[in-house]
Amino acid sequence: MKRAPSPASGKRGPSGDGDGRDRLLSAAILAFAERGIANTTIAQIAAAAHVTAAMVHYWFDGRERLLDAIVAERMAPLFQQVWGPSVGEEGDPRRMVRGIVQRLFDVTAANPWLPSLWLREIINEGGLLRERALRHIPVQRVAAFAQAIARGMARGELQADIEPHLVFTSVLALVMLPQASAKIWRRINPSLALDRAMLERHVCALLLHGIASPERKTKAARPGKTRRPT
């Protein structure tokens, strides 16, 4: 069993061990989302967490174990939250899409570092969290979602030209990319709010009206009979 560095050695011991470890994980996530893993040193993470670099090695045995912990303890639970069981969505692909969009926005609102870290270290080729993250993706639930989209297409409820297996990819792109690149778009257009309410409204409108079949759109847009005044 490892022993913490002795206070006599001039290094801080594990006072508030659990809190210090959590604080270090949070500091690492923020640094990685801002600068990327390759551009962040252990010393920078330790300084941001107000611990010594020796404590990073004490808790994680170095960077690789730290990355494992970030994915397993901070990111994997968020994946499960997005794909968690949802009452009333089964059998209705449009409600499933809306539910996943809403839960993705819930997750990113509570963890604003996620879009940037996702793009930097999972989507980008060579991202240092990609293989770790893929091990935690609920593949069966992703496949079931695509199958539900395909069934909706077969019933004529959804556009015949969409690709069921790319719908979730489209959801991810629409939710994650604007948040990860918000600073760029605000520089181009300072009046652009890019707050959750606006983004969620835009994403749902684009997805739900974009994937509805032309026949369904026509029926929804057809005005009902109006009574003539007597």
pLDDT in tens, 25-63: 999 999 999 999 999 999 999 999 999 999 999 999 989
In a domain, 3, yes or no: no
Is residue 72 pLDDT above 50, yes or no? yes
Is 31 within a domain? Answer: yes
Q: Do 86 and 173 fall into the same domain?
A: yes
pLDDT of 205 higher than 50 = yes
Do residue 37 and residue 94 come from a single domain?
Answer: no
Q: Name residue 80's beta-bridge partners.
A: none
> Is 217 found in the same domain as 104?
yes
Q: Let me know if residue 98 belongs to a domain.
A: yes
Percent of the chain predicted with pLDDT > 90: 72
Looking at the structure, tell me whether residues 44 and 91 fall in a common domain.
no
CATH number for the domain that contains residue 29: 1.10.10.60
Report the pLDDT averaged over residues 89-106.
92
Does residue 22 have a pLDDT over 70?
A: yes
Domain-embedded: residue 4: no
| 35 in the same domain as 80 | no
**Inside any domain, residue 30:** yes
In this structure, are 86 and 49 located in the same domain? no
**Is the entire prediction scored with pTM above 0.75?**
yes
Mean pLDDT across the stretch 182-194? 89
Q: Annotate the chain with DSSP letters as a single string.
A: ---PPPGGGTS---TTHHHHHHHHHHHHHHHHHHH-STT--HHHHHHHHTS-HHHHHHHHSSHHHHHHHIIIIIIHHHHHHHTS--TT-TT-HHHHHHHHHHHHHHHHHH-TTHHHHHIIIIISTT-TTHHHHHTTS-HHHHHHHHHHHHHHHHTTSB-TTS-HHHHHHHHHHHHHHHHHTHHHHHHH-TT----HHHHHHHHHHHHHHHHB-HHHHHHHHSPPP-PPP-
Confidence of residue 10 (pLDDT cuts 50, 70, 90): very low
Quick check: 113 pLDDT over 60?
yes
79 and 181 belong to one structural domain: yes
In a domain, 66, yes or no: no
Tell me, yes or no, whether 177 and 206 share the same domain: yes
- Same domain, yes or no, for 139 and 195? yes
Instruction: Check pLDDT > 90 for residue 230.
Output: no
Q: How confident is the model at residue 2 (pLDDT cuts 50, 70, 90)?
A: very low
Count of domains for the chain: 2
pLDDT at 17 over 70: no
The pLDDT value given to residue 11: 38
* Average predicted confidence (pLDDT) for the chain: 86
Q: Which domain CATH number covers 112?
A: 1.10.357.10
In a domain, 182, yes or no: yes
Higher pLDDT, 141 or 12: 141
- For residue 67, being part of any structural domain is answered with no
Tell me what pLDDT residue 84 has.
82
**Residues 39, 95 within the same domain:** no
pLDDT tens digits, 136-172:
999 999 999 999 999 999 999 999 999 999 999 999 9
Domain range for 159 is 73-221
Of 174 and 10, more confident: 174
Residues 83 and 151 in one domain: yes
Residues 139, 163: one domain?
A: yes
